[in-house]
A = this chain, B = another copy of it.
Amino acid sequence: MSSSTNIALLGTKFMGRAHSNAWLNVDKYFDLSRPPSMHVVAGRNPAETAEFAQRWGWKNHETDWTRAVSDPEVDLVDIGTPNNVHGEQAIAALEAGKHVACEKPLSDSIATAEAMAAAAAASDRQTFVWYNYRRVPAVALAHRLVREGRIGTIYHARASYLQSWGGPDTPLLWRFDSAVAGSGAHGDLNAHIIDAVRFVTGEEITTVEGAIEHTFIHERQTIEGGAGGEIAGSGASTGGSKGTSTVDDTVAFLSRLSGGGIASFEATRVATGYHNANRFEIHGELGALRFDFERMNELAFYDASDGATAGWRTIDVTRGGDGHPYAAAWWPDSHGLGYEHSFVNQAADILTVLGGGDALVPMPDFADALRTERVLHAAIESARRGAPIPIDPVV
């Protein structure tokens, strides 16, 4: 019996690539009792999937994901497909007795997310959700500093995820099709920052007090052919014609935290000047934290007890010798990490957990990710009803 973990990857686009990189590299940097084996990848397009498998070193490839999921040699099903198929795939994998690592958000509908969490609860398998930003070292350190009481009682959490690729010239990608994506910036970006605020503060979001959901650009150019790469048309696909975006370009909302603080969230795809500004500021009685993924190797920390020399400390979170999360696995100090390292770090933690160990910092399972889904759902309800929405406690 092998000591490795056999993996089936579903999806060969952006996330398929990020996950493949993680499985390829994780055992080069981390010492693992159950290293990964890149067993099989499944994708819809035969030629693309074959090329993908060859490039990344997947031993087998499939166009029928159900065969990959039911393969008896597979230990872990890794879901990197669009949101609207997460539920079916994850539940099938759990029912086939596999561990499941699912891309975020959990699903495109609250009902499916609930069903996924129920399936996970009914299974003895492990579930994981790829909220990869938790494993950006700066975010993990922020979590740790809050745990250590360095900022005290939390007053404010202010999170925004600002991108700018969704202006009027951007064509009608699948991400603008609510039937596929579920939502626009909201599920794509707010999901991350809701998770980040929950993770870093260690608190739950108890209400949405007010919200705006808005689409700036309704008509977009459709795409000839309708598929390929990150691009998929919805409706008519003749170049030169127009189709309708059915998702939000931005959602902003105001919330309360379980510890008595206030939180604000904003996701947008039209924040000209920002490309991937996944950022938060958290203020407590004793200190504060600030993060921006555009400078992902830095965490800003303010310690009010510093007196005359108090100032935002720009911590270069790459110092293994200082115990920075995940840093010792990589390079010397200030030899910065990149985006995909967060996936490698999560892959290491997933394999560690499957090997009976502990993740370095808490990792969301389906039950945990469902709480984030409920906040996403409440925000939309609040925007549409023009009323505060309490969030159901999760048992």
Contact = CB atoms under 8 A, between A and B. Distances in A.
B151 A272 contact: yes
A345 B318 CA distance: 22
A271 interface: yes
A13 to B, nearest CB: 12
Contact of A252 (B28, B262, B307): B262
A309 B301 contact: yes
Interface string A244-273: 000000101110100010101010101111
B334 A308 contact: no
A240 interface: no
A341 B338 CA distance: 9
A286 interface: yes
A339 B333 contact: no
A358 interface: no
A332 interface: yes
Interface stretch (A4-12, A40-48, A79-87, A211-219): A211-219
B288 A271 contact: yes
B332 A308 contact: no
A24 interface: yes
Contacts of A72: none
A382 B302 CA distance: 33
Interface in A290-311: 290, 293-296, 298-304, 306-311
Interface of A: 14, 18, 20-21, 24-25, 27-28, 55-56, 141, 145, 150-151, 155-156, 158, 160, 164-165, 167-168, 209-212, 214, 216, 250, 252-254, 256, 260, 262, 264, 266, 268, 270-277, 281, 283-288, 290, 293-296, 298-304, 306-316, 318-319, 322-324, 330-341, 382-383, 386-388
Given A24-B25, A24-B28, 9 more contacts: A21-B28, A156-B268, A156-B271, A272-B283, A274-B334, A275-B319, A276-B335, A294-B336, A311-B315
21 contacts: A14-B332, A21-B28, A24-B24, A24-B25, A25-B25, A165-B332, A209-B212, A212-B262, A264-B266, A272-B284, A272-B288, A272-B304, A274-B334, A275-B316, A293-B336, A300-B311, A310-B315, A331-B340, A335-B340, A336-B339, A337-B339
